[in-house]
Amino acid sequence: MDKWEYKTIEFKTKGFVGGLLDISAFNEALNNCGRDGWELVSCFDTNQSYGASRKVIAVFKRQKPV
């Protein structure tokens, strides 16, 4: 049976009411995880107010070494 390990990364948004994501930093973090064998399985935002995003959460998995 396959065994998995998981990793979660949190990105804070910027801007007066939130919602602005530093795409360069976001892409760099995703690519770094990919190079280390992590696969992105989910990405979602958390709401602040009036639909503005407060944080973006990325969840990764990779097969656990035997």
Name residues whose C-beta falls within 8 Å of residue 24's C-beta, 6 or more positions apart in sequence: none
Q: Domain residues of the chain, as ranges?
A: 4-63
Residue 49: pLDDT over 80: no
pLDDT of residue 33: 97
Give this prediction's pTM: 0.83
CA distance 64 to 66: 6
pLDDT of residue 6: 97
54: left (phi over 0), alpha (psi -120 to 50) or beta: alpha
* pLDDT digits 0-9 by tens, 1-40: 889 999 999 998 887 776 788 999 999 999 999 999 999 9
